[in-house]
Structure 1
Amino acid sequence: MARLFLLLLAALLLGAAPAPPQPQRGPLVLAAASMQEALNEAADLWARKGNARPVLSFAASSALARQAAAGAPADLFVSADREWMDFLQARGRLVPGTRADLAGNRLVLVARSGDARPVPLRPGSPLAAMLGNGRLAMADPDSVPAGRYGKAALTRLGLWNALAPRVVRAENVRAALALVERGAAAYGVVYATDARASARVRVAGVFPADSHPPIRYPIARLNRGPQPAKAEAFRRFLLSAEGKAVLARHGFQTW
């Protein structure tokens, strides 16, 4: 009986023990796919300062903006263009006074690293002839920022009509990059930072800056986010000199 009593007492004491503390969760950040490496480094640095590491969700800006518009409980949004941020602002989803341009980028043409041929990107460019029977990978030019910039550039250079039938539309810019990496497309239109992040492609040409709208990445807080204080602190960190230094290390333009 004494043993039974001790066993019952031990079970009661174990059951009454407090649950281990749950790890602190940082703000949920919806960010353009091209920001993966830079924002992961920034989030790690923020966590090393004693803050809860932000939860990062990457996809096409178009997909993320639609999620936020539908009421997704996210705290911050980083878009690869101003249009999708405008989309959310028009629907009353942004916290007033928190929108700012975070970074800029360049648009490039990539090929697999074994293809050393440069491609001149100008009116009359031989890109269509160089493509041959191959495919050109792009983020969807109807909705995804990288695809929109790419279509604008190719149209300005007089190349779009010849290339459009051979365009493979990807769900985001990283998916377009992956098609070139795997050899499923001969060339791809991506950001300079995407090309820099991959050892399996090389830059075959750089689109003239005036061939497309300026590439800007705005950031803003979302008003349905559950962690406004943490989101604001991380937003300010990204816009600080220290945060922008992280972006610059990954090839983004900062001011």
Structure 2
Amino acid sequence: MVLKSLIAAFAMGGIATALAAPAARADGQIVVFAAASLKNALDEVNKACEPDVGEAAKISYAASSALAKQIEEGAPADVFISADLDWMKYLSDKKLTKPDSEVKLLGNRIVLVAPADSKAEVKVEKGFDLAKVIGDSKLAMGDFKAVPAGKYGKAALESLGAWSSVEGKVAQAENVRAALKLVATGEAAAGIVYQTDANAEKGVKVIGVFPEETHPPIVYPVAQTAESKDKDTPAFLKCLRSAKASELFKAQGFTLLAPTQ
């Protein structure tokens, strides 16, 4: 019960905010729905872009799956940044994004993390013994049926032959930052998160990096929503690809997929 309560609390907490209700625009302010793993970098980019855009965006962070559903239900978002291509396609197939605005913006890696004081060591390779690392504890990861980080993590573990040995020990969280917190607080012995999440949390250390060929490419696409009416949205999208934004994204560990404008 304690673990379930913590998962819910972290998922709804400030650092990785899951939306309880659609965000409201304030005086025409741009509203951005962004994957939870972008928080540190995008907060900095938002500040840097304010002079060019003319305003700071209001950003709501959560799992890409939750955000896409919110937009489908009519939440007033101008921009959607997903942590995978699937949830962007989900909205574009329903004609809820402007096709000519969609760009593959960023890339990332998934890593295996443990609490900062852990003595665990592991080489992530075919047949590695992840169950031994976890022991009687839990493996924290995003909901592997919906949250991109969870989907990437499950695919990697299946590819490496480790999924069946840990499936019963998985603590699924509503977003990747919630999974990260479970590891940082010692509620889980290990977790699968993005490299950028590990960089942002001093309470964890990376004990293994998943080979890129073990899971689908990690791509963060961005698009303007079909219902967006804010005149400054194109300027915000352009600034996301500016040199100053690119440097901030790289500083947090993201790779750049779109040409700098």
Is this a same-fold pair by TM over 0.5?
yes
SS at match of 1:108: strand
CA contact (8 A) 1:25 1:53 kept: no
Partner of 2:245: 243
CA contact (8 A) 1:99 1:218 kept: yes
For structure 1, the residue ranges without an aligned partner over 5 or more in a row are 1-22
Question: By how many angstroms is 1:129 displaced?
Answer: 1.4
Whether 1:218 and 2:234 are equivalent positions in the alignment is: no
Residue from 227, 230, 233 that aligns with 2:232:
230
CA contact (8 A) 1:25 1:55 kept: no
Partner of 2:98: 95
AA aligned to 2:250 is: A
- The TM-score with structure 1 as length reference comes to 0.88
Work out the CA distance in 2 between the residues paired with 1:225 and 1:49.
Answer: 19
CA contact (8 A) 2:52 2:239 kept: no
Offset from partner CA, 1:22-41 (integer Å, 9 cap, x none): x8653100000000011100
Structure 1 residues 127-142: aligned runs within 5 Å: 127-142=130-145
Question: By how many angstroms is 1:117 displaced?
Answer: 2.6
Whether 1:60 and 2:66 are equivalent positions in the alignment is: no
Work out the CA distance in 2 between the residues paired with 1:214 and 1:116.
Answer: 30
Work out the CA distance in 2 between the residues paired with 1:253 and 1:185.
Answer: 28
SS at match of 1:224: coil
Structure 1 runs of 4+ with >6 Å offset: none
Aligned residues: CA RMSD? 1.3
Work out the CA distance in 1 between the residues paired with 2:102 and 2:182.
Answer: 33
Partner of 2:4: none
Question: By how many angstroms is 1:118 displaced?
Answer: 2.1
For structure 2, the residue ranges without an aligned partner over 5 or more in a row are 1-25
Question: By how many angstroms is 1:115 displaced?
Answer: 1.1
Residue from 20, 24, 38 that aligns with 2:41:
38
Residue from 228, 252, 255 that aligns with 1:253:
255
AA aligned to 1:145 is: P
Structure showing greater Rg: 1
Question: By how many angstroms is 1:226 displaced?
Answer: 3.1
Work out the CA distance in 1 between the residues paired with 2:147 and 2:192.
Answer: 12
Offset from partner CA, 1:90-141 (integer Å, 9 cap, x none): 0000112000011000000000111143211111202111211110000000
Offset from partner CA, 1:50-92 (integer Å, 9 cap, x none): 7210000000000000111112111000000000000000000
Partner of 1:7: none
Identity %: 44
CA contact (8 A) 1:181 1:200 kept: yes
Work out the CA distance in 2 between the residues paired with 1:241 and 1:213.
Answer: 27
Partner of 1:79: 82
Whether 1:164 and 2:167 are equivalent positions in the alignment is: yes
Work out the CA distance in 2 between the residues paired with 1:117 and 1:244.
Answer: 34
Work out the CA distance in 2 between the residues paired with 1:193 and 1:157.
Answer: 22
Paired positions, count: 232
Partner of 2:129: 126
Partner of 2:157: 154
SS at match of 1:147: helix
Whether 1:114 and 2:117 are equivalent positions in the alignment is: yes
AA aligned to 1:129 is: K
